[in-house]
Amino acid sequence: MAEPNTKPVIVVTGGGQGIGKAIVLYFAERNYDVAVLDVNLENAIEVSRQAKGLGADALAIHCDVTDRKSVSDAYDEIGAHFGRINVQVNNAGIFVRERIEDFTDEVCDRLIDVNLKGVLNTSRAAIKLMKDHPGGSIINAHSILGQFPDFGLGVYCATKAAVACLTRVLAAECAPYGIRVNGYAPSVTDTPMVHHIIEERPTAKLDQIPMREFGKPEQIARICWFLATDLSEYTTGIGIASDGGAWAVQRPFKAWEAAGKL
């Protein structure tokens, strides 16, 4: 089929809110066409409307990343409309805090299905549309909790550690097709998924962050821009943290006490 235009195309899962929304709009503003995939179609439609206002050709698609048929249908629609994918951002994820002994099977399976299998499902579908267009980029949502696990988050942390490992393997497997694979690893970023943590325990969380401020979705979008463009043309198989220095040392608040600013 004839490609409708030559603008690069970015696909963002979980693009209907939070970090995903910020990534969609950041790229739309910079001359990318966008596909907004989300399990909440209303959110995806609203974000695509905003992207169109920035000049992008935008698709809003209902997609459950845990359902292979839903993923297959979504990427068939992307292929029919755009003919290609230049950047795939596997952003969709869920967050549940529960001790391992208290997890229900349903919650455990849901975390693994969304956070890990979802990345596998959409990556496999995207690669089929990227292989004939060298220079592509796949970007996965890691987490600093994948490296530094926390009490009550065993299953969540395990899924994110697995995604970081998957990123490295995909980087090697996709290199022959000119596709780079990297990730971004936020700490507490002010999004709907974790806003309750910021409201409930602001001081305790800030004490873990040397820069003493919470992350913003736009900061992740800028990292994705770096990873998607030729600014990082020789970078693959890594994860970039956006965490204000969280976990750099055990007690970062001590530096603020010593400086007389806490």
Positions annotated as catalytic residues are: 156
How far apart are alpha carbons 188 and 195 in whole angstroms? 9
96 and 156 Cβ atoms separated by less than 8 Å: yes
What would the DSSP string read from start to end of 90-129?
E---------GGG--HHHHHHHHIIIIIHHHHHHHHHHHH
Task: Please report which helix (H) or strand (E) contains residue 68, including its range.
Answer: helix 68-82
- Coil, helix or strand for 69? helix
How far apart are alpha carbons 76 and 8 in whole angstroms? 18
How far apart are alpha carbons 42 and 219 in whole angstroms? 25
Tokens standing for residue 200:
């409930």
184 and 138 Cβ atoms separated by less than 8 Å: no
CA-based R_g, the chain, Å: 18
20 and 13 Cβ atoms separated by less than 8 Å: yes
Q: Which residues contact 258 (CB under 8 A, 6 or more apart)?
A: none
Terminal alpha carbon distance of the chain: 62
How far apart are alpha carbons 14 and 64 in whole angstroms? 9
